[in-house]
Amino acid sequence: MKRAAIYVRVSTLDQNLATQIYDLEELARQRQLEIVARYEDKISGAKARRPGLDQMMRDARRGQFDIVVVWACDRLARSVRHFLEVLDELNHLNVEFVSFREQLDTGGALGRAIIIIISVVAELERSLIVERVRAGMRRAKLEGTHIGRPALDIDRQAVLRHRAHGQSLTDIAKSFGVGRSTISRILKEEHFVKEEHFVLPAAVGGTL
């Protein structure tokens, strides 16, 4: 009888692990697997580092079980890279991987190939979603729609007057409700403009 470890995960504390655990215990019974360990995480699958998953991998390296059983592939990982890293390490440790929902088993070459294909498709879908969002932002910019925070409307001359009266950058920033870096940038820009207006010697013709 093979020693099995079951891994279950939900994204939030409000979700229940009971359904996953019931299905995996039933699967183990049907396959005559002995469940020797159970690992749980209540955290986003996008995070590669998870307490339950990390402990499971440490125990796998110690040879404490022969097979890992999960409710679905996306319970283990959300990115192809992380998913393949976990599967590759399990493979090197001679630990099989079984997914209840997809009915996949890395005990055979076909099972390993199918898991990789499914993971690539899922990653492609997420990439397409990101690209659609970026395309929408590019289209909005071309149409003249402002993206991001609105531009600050600050009386630059008033900033210069405050500075001329000896106020600190911090005090000026508080007066206008902006960051200190914004006031510093305005002062630098105004200083640059002023340098473009210079005084010619009187003999040459006065002020320009």
Distances (CA, A) of 159 to 150, 166, 171: 20, 11, 11
Rounded distance between C-alpha atoms, residue 196 and residue 54, angstroms: 62
For residue 133, pLDDT over 90 is answered with no
Rounded distance between C-alpha atoms, residue 59 and residue 89, angstroms: 12
CATH class of 156-195: mainly alpha
Give domain limits for the chain: 3-123, 156-195
Three-class SS state of 18: helix
pLDDT tens track for 26-56? 999 999 999 999 999 988 766 667 899 999 9
Phi-psi sector, 35: left (phi>0), alpha (psi -120 to 50), beta: beta
Give every strand in the sheet of 96-99, ordered side by side. 34-42, 3-10, 67-70, 96-99, 104-105
Mean pLDDT of 62-71: 96
pLDDT at residue 203 in the model: 45
What band does 111 get if pLDDT is binned at 50, 70 and 90?
confident
Return the active site residues: 11
| Strands in 50-119 per DSSP E | 67-70, 96-99, 104-105
CATH class of 3-123: alpha beta
